[in-house]
């Protein structure tokens, strides 16, 4: 049975809880925030809303915001943002910062909103869980959000998996990404490599070897399967015998990629050389074209 993808039990439970809903409080008709009779959604002046200090996302695509802004100009805000009241006519975003920013770009003066009561911990949880569902988040952003839920909301991995609607193995795999060297984490954030590559690198254990393989992935454009094959036979560089098989496998992978015989040799101290065989100037030019992409 396919697992239903949704907001995550933590966020949806809070949003569905009537005790956190204050938009239904009586207000004079016509004032901002007065809900329509058939809906608990109110309208709030954009000028009265401030960003979420617990926002886990650090980057918003300007192009994507411009596209959303244009859509809002044409169709309005389809999905209300979620706010909490923090003072007289002051509200703070819990979720919906992209919609908030795009609405500002579109020149809107009011936004449809749910207004909730939430303490800082509940607000952090709601913001993190809501953001984890966004498909545009990179793997490291998701991993950091998971780690914050563990550290700051004090969730166990089992509780975390229930909150975000993902199995525990998936949660564990994301958390393990934060153990990778910074260079590889940056590669994940920039989508130079994928989650599959990263999981294969995690299995290596040794940080220096992980970076070495990461650089090979980029330079040789290795597939996830090729990296998995390489890491299965990967071992520390402590002896020439232990590195012989990995170098043989790497030679084979590079030969498949370049289309010519390749020899990779490495000494016990980690130094080495790569030799590529060619039979003619035409073949040499072909190999150079492959290497240069």
How far apart, in Å, are the Cα atoms of 92 and each of 79, 129, 160, 202? 17, 17, 25, 39
User: What does the alpha-carbon distance between residue 243 and residue 279 come to, in Å, rounded to a whole number?
Assistant: 29
Is 15:129 a contact under the CB 8 Å cutoff? Answer: no
Q: Hey, CA dihedral for 138, 127, 55, 150, is it positive or negative?
A: negative
21 phi/psi in degrees, rounded to 5: -95, 120
Is 191:138 a contact under the CB 8 Å cutoff? Answer: yes
Q: Hunting for tokens 């239903």 — which residue is that?
A: 4
Q: Hunting for tokens 């294969």 — which residue is that?
A: 200
Q: Which of 97, 125, 130, 141 is catalytic?
A: 97
DSSP letter at 248 equals H
User: What does the alpha-carbon distance between residue 247 and residue 25 come to, in Å, rounded to a whole number?
Assistant: 70
Has 141 been annotated as catalytic? no
> Regarding beta strands 110-116 and 81-87, do their DSSP bridges make them parallel or antiparallel, or are they unpaired?
parallel
CB atoms within 10 A of CB 124: 22
User: What does the alpha-carbon distance between residue 257 and residue 264 come to, in Å, rounded to a whole number?
Assistant: 14
List own/partner pairs for 232-238 with CB under 8 A and 24 or more apart.
234/204, 234/209, 236/206, 236/209, 237/209, 237/266, 237/268, 237/269, 237/270, 238/268
User: Which sequence positions are flagged as catalytic?
Assistant: 97
């Amino acid at each position: 049975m396919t697992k239903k993808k949704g907001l995550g039990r933590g966020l949806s439970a809070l949003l569905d809880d009537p005790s956190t809903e204050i938009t239904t409080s009586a207000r004079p008709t016509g004032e901002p925030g007065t809900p329509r009779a058939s809906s608990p959604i109110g309208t709030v002046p954009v000028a009265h809303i401030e960003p979420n200090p617990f926002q886990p996302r650090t980057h918003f695509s300007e192009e994507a915001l411009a596209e959303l802004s244009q859509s809002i100009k044409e169709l309005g805000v389809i999905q209300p943002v979620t706010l909490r009241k923090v003072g007289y006519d002051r509200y703070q975003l819990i979720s919906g910062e992209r919609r908030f920013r795009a609405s500002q770009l579109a020149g809107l003066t009011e936004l449809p909103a749910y207004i909730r009561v939430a303490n800082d911990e509940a607000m952090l949880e709601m913001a993190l869980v809501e953001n984890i569902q966004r498909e545009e988040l990179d793997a490291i952003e998701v991993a950091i959000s998971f780690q914050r839920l563990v550290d700051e909301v004090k969730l166990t991995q089992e509780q975390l998996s229930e909150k975000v609607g993902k199995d525990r193995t998936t949660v564990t795999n994301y958390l393990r990404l934060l153990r990778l060297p910074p260079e590889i984490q940056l590669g994940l954030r920039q989508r130079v490599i994928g989650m599959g590559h990263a999981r294969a690198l995690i299995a290596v254990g040794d940080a220096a070897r992980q970076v070495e393989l990461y650089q090979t992935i980029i330079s040789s454009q290795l597939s996830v399967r090729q990296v998995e094959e390489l890491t299965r036979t990967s071992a520390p560089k402590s002896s020439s015998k232990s590195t012989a098989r990995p170098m043989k496998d790497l030679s084979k992978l590079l030969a498949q990629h370049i289309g010519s015989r390749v020899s990779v040799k490495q000494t016990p101290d980690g130094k080495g050389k790569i030799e590529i065989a060619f039979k003619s100037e035409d073949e040499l030019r072909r190999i150079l074209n492959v290497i240069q992409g």
